[in-house]
Amino acid sequence: MPTEQVIHAVDDDRPFLAALDRALRTTGLTVNRYVCASDFLNDLDPDQPGCLITDLRMPGMDGLELQKTLQEQQIRLPTIFITGHGDAGKAVAALKGGAVDFLEKPFSEQALLDSVRRALAKDTVDRALAGERAIIRQRCANLTPREQQVFSLVVSDLPNKEIARQLKISPRTVEHHRAHVMLKMQARSVAELITMAFLCGIRELRL
Amino acid sequence: MGPGGWLRQFGLSGARSIAEFQTEPAPVARPTERRTYRIGFGQPELPSRIPDYVDLFEHAPVGYMLLDASGCIERINRTGAAMLGWDQEWLVGKPFSRWISNNDKQLFRAHQHALSGGERCTSHDLRAKNRQGRTVSLRLESTLETNHLEGGARCRSIMIDVSGEQQSARKLRLLQSQLTHVARLNTAGEMASSLAHELNQPLGTVVLNCEAALRLLKSGASQEYEFAEALTQAREAASFASDVVRHLRGFLQGNGELHTVCELSVLVLDVSTLIEADARDNDIELQLEIERDLPLVRVDSVQIEQVLLNLAHNSIEAMRDGGGGPNRVTIRAYRNLPEQIRVSVTDTGPGLGVEHHDRLFTPFYTTKRDGMGIGLSISRTIIEAHGGELWADIDSGNGATFTFTLPSIGGSPT
């Protein structure tokens, strides 16, 4: 699996793309350049860590369409949008679609590097979380249906007696299942179990 | 003379419809009429019908009026009196001109003059002030009474309240001018927006390349190739940006392709037609002073009309905001030098403060609440592209004058 972070830059304005490439490359980052969105999509390896910088207005597939396509393919690549002039409506749409940042030309190198750094950091966290999530899902799948029921009730902060009442089994049996859940999930405490439940979506985070 | 007598004498329009009722056997009550008159069947006996006819006359949907030779009201029906807001009896003997608004008194004199000059029938729209002080627009259709011998000629008038009609016409004009304004804003907005986009592309390239070059220089790393490339590409992007600007200027200046030889007076008259209604709606007098035999000019007539229209609209807007006083826009066209024509637009509005004077022609500078601030700057670009000048003389508190010059091409219209 590739580990090096790569910045994908998509812009139909070639001189600008070259400048973008130079700015990032001479600070030690790796850049892949594309003059259109479809070239980028053909070339993309979803397992390659990194981020995307794309122009908003492009002939053919534009920036927002590219963002949508990536979402449909469930590719989570932190995205920075750039545009020739402020377009409030599109900026809002881009940010709602999960854009990390929105840069308006002309922008300083510092603004670009800050955004890229944020995007790459986000990608690192995203990928780490995705890995964790996959492992937890795997462990979850090894639970028996009864254990899964107990799991979801335990992480809902219910005492054993209440869980026993709801499942119409004895509290002793609940304790038995509970011990199995902790073992199979490799959780050292209920708090850790709850964190796992959040990560794999068994318990919704309520703020 | 009894009521029947003068009714018959009152004549043409009113009496004509009564005559129709008398001769036509068909029912006269139309669904749209509010009142039903039991007349028109069989052989009417006139004396017994008189109250009906009086009723018909009094409540007709239009005002009827009889004016004596001196223009005083001799008789007026109830509808007519209601238009003026007074009792019928009180109105009798009063000069009708008393209710005509000051701005239209001259028009009323022209109306009377046309009749005494021999026209059989004349019609004018006049504004009148009623008892409540409200201005009503009346369409006055008058005919001269021919068979009246003693005491000079009397005139019979029909008054129709056209306030509603004029109001909707005014509303329509307002909507039309708003539409034009929106269209102009759109064009200007689109232009500004696409210009911003066109310029920000190369500027973005310039900034990134320069910053990369600076960083490389400071770091002392021997990346001479990158350094030179960054500067080369920055220079290319900068000249691309200046091409964009040059292209825009060329677009505004039009390369002279659309220039035609024309008479400036024709352009001024075209524009005055366009703003006449706007001026009238705002009680502003529009005055044209065009010197005879002005030499011809070679211009893009649409652009020059645009400039004139813009200046005249500004004047009207300036006076609309400030109230009171006689408001007037004067457009003058005269020969300044043998080879130069001057056109000026003067208003009697509040003028502009000295603080605005220096910035009037700056793009996106405006003193108007909903202005874009590009009218005058574009106007100046257009005039300068024609080899002329545009400037403002501001007499604070005493109106403003905008003047532009255009080179003439010699020779005068034949």
pLDDT in tens, A37-72: 999 999 999 999 999 999 988 888 989 999 999 999
Question: Could you tell me which residues of chain A have a Cβ less than 8 Å from any Cβ in chain B?
Answer: 13, 15-16, 18-20, 22-23, 26-27, 57, 82, 84-85, 104-110, 112
Q: Taking CB atoms and an 8 Å limit, are A57 and B236 in contact across chains?
A: no
Q: Taking CB atoms and an 8 Å limit, are A106 and B193 in contact across chains? A: no
Choose the weakest-confidence range: A95-99, B38-42, B141-145, B347-351: B38-42
pLDDT tens figures, B163-185: 888 778 877 777 776 666 555 55
d(CA B59, CA B72): 22
* Residue that is written with structure tokens 């996959």 in the block: A134
Cβ within 8 Å of residue B78, ≥6 positions away: B58, B59, B88
B205/A19 touch (CB, cutoff 8 Å), yes or no: yes
Distance from CA of B238 to the nearest CA of A (A): 11
Nearest CA in chain B to A105: B204
pLDDT at B306: 77
Sheet architecture: strand order including B400-407? B284-290, B327-337, B340-347, B400-407, B390-394
Of all residues in chain A, the one with the smallest CA distance to B230 is: A19
pTM of structure: 0.47
User: How far is CA A99 from each of CA A52, A86, B227, rounded to the nearest angstrom?
Assistant: 10, 15, 32
Per-residue confidence band for B262, with pLDDT thresholds at 50, 70 and 90: confident
Chain A CB contacts of B236 below 8 Å: 15
Residue B287 has pLDDT above 80, yes or no: yes
β partners of residue B408: B297
Give the nearest chain A residue to B223 (CA atoms). A26
Answer whether B117 touches A (CB < 8 Å). Answer: no
Q: Contact A22/B193, CB-based, under 8 Å?
A: no
* Single-letter amino acid code for the residue at B232: T
Pairing of strands B73-76, B121-129: unpaired
State how far the Cα of B298 lies from the Cα of B264, in Å rounded to an integer: 9
In eight-state DSSP terms, residue B322 is S
B335 vs B295: CA distance, rounded Å: 8
Query: With contacts defined as CB-CB under 8 Å, which chain B residues touch A58?
Result: none
In angstroms, the separation between the Cα of residue A96 and the nearest Cα of chain B is 23
Task: State what percent of residues in chain A have pLDDT above 70.
Answer: 95
Query: Which burial class, exposed, middle or buried, applies to B134 when counting CB atoms under 10 A from its CB (0-12, 13-18, 19+)?
Result: exposed
Q: Most A CBs within 10 Å: which of B193, B200, B222, B229, as the mutation test of the A interface?
A: B200
